[in-house]
Structure 1
Amino acid sequence: MVLIKVSQDFVLAFAGGVLFGYGVYRLFISKIFAQKKLIDEKIELEKLILEEFLKENEANFTNEGIKEKEFKSLFNFKLSEFKSANAFEFKKFKLYDVLFKDEKNRFFVGVLFISQIPLQNDKMLSQDEFYSLKTPKKFSTAVKFIQGKACLIKTRINPFFIHLHLSLEQNKNALMQNLAQLEKLINT
């Protein structure tokens, strides 16, 4: 049997390497947990602000969107893809996040507004005209396609999206302005 003589320097270097590795590992893991905690707190804060706004306006929120079959009963589009999420239910209307691609590969991102009464169409757009219009960066009801009680509104952002870089008051004001734009669709 051959015994390998381990030097004292090797043992110290090995122990130092293990301690250094453990320290780096702990630092890395603690950063990941801190980031996850911040993300969770951000989501919770967004929920609280939104819940307060909805409570003030006697509205409800669910994560479930409109079913494709129900959407097709409102609009006679031939779709190749369809996704929907986040339903906001107010007294006079419902609002859903929707995105879809039609048979001509035209892509739509925005919200579906469903009123309890037929909507007035101040600007009659064809489907082609509607798809060709640019999507506004901020929420606006300017680019819309109305059919009966339903309205597709092109937008990159949900009207009830919470901006954490804004104060609570600024968020509430933005939410109220967006709600007023939606209610204006019914009242015109």
Structure 2
Amino acid sequence: MTFAKKMMTATAALALTTGAAFADAHAMNPMVGGAEMSAEKNIIENAVNSADHTTLVAAVKAAGLVETLSGEGPFTVFAPTNAGFDRLDAGAVENLLKPENKDQLTEVLTCHVVGKAVMAEALQGMIKDDGGEHPVPTLGGCTLQASYADDGRMMLADENGNAAFVTIADVKQSNGVIHVIDGVMLPKQ
């Protein structure tokens, strides 16, 4: 093999290795709503880029929580998708977004926020240690119950029995972590 051919082979191997390392680095933080989530951005900076979280972002803005969720944290946010909000009764989202319902909206949103960063593996351990279900107190005063469905998916239930599955776990943020969920957790009614 000639020197030039050896160099081309070595360069190709390096390019493949570098490409794989680059892909692995991006695979560490999943895409959400068609957008790359950067662990160097905060919860709000990432959420505004997700096409699946436009309702959540609108609600956070209406509740005046942008500054809070852009803050130092750490926070864990169980982030409902647009489809999760669509599961609520007809007109519920529109009603919550009215200025006169800001306090109620804030309570609903903060029932999705924990005042520390909790990765899925840690929560999984807590569920196991607690015999299959672990209480998750939120900043909104709700206590969610984390467990696993029969098919192995992590599930959350609010105090009303509403359930949601974690569809994307461990989306790292500079001020915590997001776990995408397919439903909305509500305060006890």
TM-score (norm 1): 0.38
In our comparison, the structure showing a higher alpha carbon Rg is: 1
Which structure exhibits the higher relative contact order, with contacts defined as CA atoms closer than 8 Å and separated by 6 or more residues?
A: 2
TM-score (norm 2): 0.38
